[in-house]
Amino acid sequence: MFLRNCWYVAGWSHHFPEGGLVARTILGDPIVFYRKGDGGIVALEDRCCHRHAPLSRGRIEGDDLRCMYHGLKFSASGKCIEIPQQDIIPSTAVVRSYPVVEQDCWVWIWMGDPARADDAVIPRALNHNDPDWFMLTGELTYEANYELINDNLLDLSHLSYVHQSTLGRNSMSWGESRPRTTAIDRGVRIERWVVNHPRPYYLKLPAGSLSDMWASYDYVVPGVFLLATKSYPLGAAAQSSMRAPRAEPDWVSSTSQAVTPISEDKTVYFYSSCLSRRLASEEHAREQMAVIERAFSEDRAMIEAQQQIIASTRQSRMLQLASDGALNRFRRLMAGLIAAEQETNPTLSVEAAHAVA
Ligand code: FES
Ligand SMILES: [Fe+2]
């Protein structure tokens, strides 16, 4: 089950080059993307209304798209504007068009009722395209349901286990930290001090160089993770009485990540790694991304294995722990939004607003 009335990340801006047709499946819908002459991105149902050929095998003509099976031409709004074999164009000659916004190097697509699309609710990514920060980007596809990935990101105690030698830095500091979770608009905020945390290996500091790290992130609907970390000399956590620090950190990093379902059992995941140019070098930025990419393959191996166990064994209740507080809260939030959407417009989740087009 998916939340439809919501913005999803369809990809990085650089995935959508001028003159290119890009096919993506999002929430089970086949979608074709292309850029208009002014650079604006169009997203249309990737299924011609004639014989259901994919429009991604078509041809861009100005701001329009021609199906290269029998030649129907569609405007950026999805309306058919030319049928080479006849003069009359029926009003049903239309494919669905989706609202799209390009913001913070991400291409966001609204998957529900276009009349309800509101750009103002798109979360702002951290430090994307900021000249004062290094920014590296990546993408990963999981053979798993999106909820398992949300769960993973909502409980970072796994860093000390799944990522023991990568993000966990061979320390129990993440695993033993106690986060504070609060509700925010359309999401949760999770904050914690990670005390006695080893400094990144690539800083080449003497062995045993530790810091106190403040890690704070917002996790917002439908699965957008916005994490900033700030490191301080040891003792900073106690000096702040385990509250948010006010002092200038000696190391900062951020990452923004987005979980986008392809189908019920396949998900794509987009992520950035950002380091402040004031404190870090380009080499540090590359090394940090290398660690993140190793860590994300560890996540993928664990989550895909978890998905297989869940799919192949009888359903039973999962044990609830204190550390599941944030993920349970987010699951309830999503379930409530999906239920409310189903109540008001049950057709949205099925043949998604083909009717809307
Ligand atoms: S399938 Fe597209 S024109 Fe026939
Ligand atoms: Fe992870």
Please report whether residue 329 resides in a domain.
no
Mutate which of 21, 45, 47, 51 for ligand 1 pocket (most atoms within 8 A of beta carbon): 51
From 86, 118, 150, the end of a domain falls on: 118
- Tell me the C-alpha to C-alpha distance, in Å, between residue 341 and each of 4, 5, 123, 349: 8, 8, 20, 9
52 and 87 assigned to the same domain: yes
What is the pLDDT averaged over residues 260-276? 98
Please report whether residue 125 resides in a domain.
no
Nearest to 7 by CA among 82, 113, 97: 113
The total domain count for the chain is: 2
CB of 290 within 6 A of ligand 1: the answer is: no
pTM: 0.95
23 and 74 assigned to the same domain: yes
Mutate which of 49, 72, 89, 94 for ligand 1 pocket (most atoms within 8 A of beta carbon): 72
- State the average pLDDT for the chain: 95
Q: What is the pLDDT of residue 348?
A: 62
102 and 170 assigned to the same domain: no
pLDDT band at 345 (very low <50, low <70, confident <90, very high): confident
103 and 239 assigned to the same domain: no
176 and 74 assigned to the same domain: no
Peptide bond into 245 cis (omega under 30): no
Residues 6 or more apart in contact with residue 211 via CB below 8 angstroms: 197, 198, 199, 231, 232, 233, 234, 236, 250, 251
**Atom 4 in ligand 1: residue holding the nearest Cα:** 70
Q: What is the pLDDT of residue 347?
A: 66
157 and 34 assigned to the same domain: no
CB of 51 within 6 A of ligand 1: the answer is: yes
139 and 283 assigned to the same domain: yes
From 278, 293, 313, the end of a domain falls on: 313
CB of 178 within 6 A of ligand 1: the answer is: no
Query: Per-residue pLDDT tens for 300-315?
Result: 999 999 999 999 999 8
Q: What is the pLDDT of residue 207?
A: 85
Please report whether residue 343 resides in a domain.
no
Q: What is the pLDDT of residue 105?
A: 98
The CA-to-CA distance between both ends of the chain, in Å, stands at: 21
Query: Per-residue pLDDT tens for 10-69?
Result: 999 999 999 999 999 999 999 999 999 999 999 999 999 999 999 999 999 999 999 999
Please give the distance, rounded to the nearest whole angstrom, from the Cα atom of residue 269 to the centre of ligand 2.
12
Please report whether residue 333 resides in a domain.
no
Please report whether residue 250 resides in a domain.
yes
Please report whether residue 103 resides in a domain.
yes
Nearest to 289 by CA among 71, 100, 139, 65: 139
Q: What is the pLDDT of residue 316?
A: 87
Ligand nearest, relative to CA of residue 86: 1
Atom number of ligand 1 nearest to Cα 53? 1
149 and 28 assigned to the same domain: no
Q: Is the pLDDT of residue 290 over 60?
A: yes
Residue 253 to residue 44: CA distance in whole angstroms: 37
CB of 67 within 6 A of ligand 1: the answer is: yes
pLDDT band at 356 (very low <50, low <70, confident <90, very high): very low
Q: Is the pLDDT of residue 355 over 80?
A: no
- Tell me the C-alpha to C-alpha distance, in Å, between residue 152 and each of 156, 210, 319: 7, 26, 15
Residues in the chain: 357
Please give the distance, rounded to the nearest whole angstrom, from the Cα atom of residue 55 to the centre of ligand 1.
8
152: domain CATH number?
A: 3.90.380.10
71 and 139 assigned to the same domain: no
161 and 305 assigned to the same domain: yes
From 84, 118, 152, the end of a domain falls on: 118
SS3 category, 126: coil
pLDDT band at 346 (very low <50, low <70, confident <90, very high): low
65: domain CATH number?
A: 2.102.10.10
Please report whether residue 93 resides in a domain.
yes
What is the pLDDT averaged over residues 145-150? 98
Q: Is the pLDDT of residue 357 over 50?
A: no
Query: Per-residue pLDDT tens for 189-245?
Result: 999 999 999 999 999 998 889 999 999 999 999 999 999 999 999 999 999 999 999
Which residues constitute the domain of residue 95?
Answer: 7-118
Please give the distance, rounded to the nearest whole angstrom, from the Cα atom of residue 52 to the centre of ligand 1.
7
CB of 55 within 6 A of ligand 1: the answer is: no
Ligand nearest, relative to CA of residue 93: 1
143 and 270 assigned to the same domain: yes
CB of 50 within 6 A of ligand 1: the answer is: yes
Please give the distance, rounded to the nearest whole angstrom, from the Cα atom of residue 110 to the centre of ligand 1.
26
Q: Is the pLDDT of residue 279 over 90?
A: yes
Please report whether residue 347 resides in a domain.
no
Residue 254 to residue 2: CA distance in whole angstroms: 28
CB of 69 within 6 A of ligand 1: the answer is: yes
In order, the DSSP letters of 160-226 are GTTTTTTTTTT-SHHHH---EEEEETTEEEEEEEEEEEEPPGGG-PPTT-EEEEEEEEEEETTTEEE
79 and 180 assigned to the same domain: no
**Atom 3 in ligand 1: residue holding the nearest Cα:** 70
**Atom 1 in ligand 1: residue holding the nearest Cα:** 51
CB of 258 within 6 A of ligand 1: the answer is: no
Contact yes or no for 41/31 (Cβ under 8 A): no
